[in-house]
Copies of this chain bind each other. A is one copy, B any other.
Amino acid sequence: MSSPEVSEIRVRVNYSETDQMGVVYHARYLVWLDIARTEHLRRSGMSYRDLEAAGLRLVVAEAALRYRQPARYDDPILVRCWVRALASRRVEFGYAVQHAEAGRLLATARTALLALSPAMTPTRLPDAVRSVLCAIPDPVRLNLTDA
């Protein structure tokens, strides 16, 4: 998982992210994925802020997550992110969430994003975006079951 096509971000679990079970509340993982995706774009040479200012919106159309082991308060977390599929109007990202020190896999996930115009109608991903995103085979088995 060390190819340049897989980016990494680190976060530390804040108290606000825990719930009374003493683990990270499951919805928070979607925010970590968002942080990872934003940095993946940045490392690919794009700022999502600039893309949006230029009139492109990338909206989450599908999300699937498998929670394997709990993350706990103050844990250092590593999120790996990559592009797993790319089409004219759609890009799909894969993610592996790990304990940054122990290395154990906490969750795997994928999200599919659609390109929309400011009027929220489907549009093509600009060539400048498509050309720098590179879909790769999942470096980790996501083990997401179908519906």
| Residues of chain A whose beta carbon lies under 8 Å from any beta carbon of chain B | 12, 14-16, 18-23, 25-28, 30-31, 34-35, 38, 47-49, 52, 57, 59-67, 70, 73-74, 110, 120, 142-147
Contact = CB atoms under 8 A, between A and B. Distances in A.
A61 B93 CA distance: 20
A19 B48 CA distance: 14
| Interface residue SS majority, chain A | mixed
Given A27-B27, A38-B15, A65 B62 contact: yes
A88 to B, nearest CB: 18
Nearest to A111: B26
A50 B145 CA distance: 31
Contacts of A145: 62, 146-147
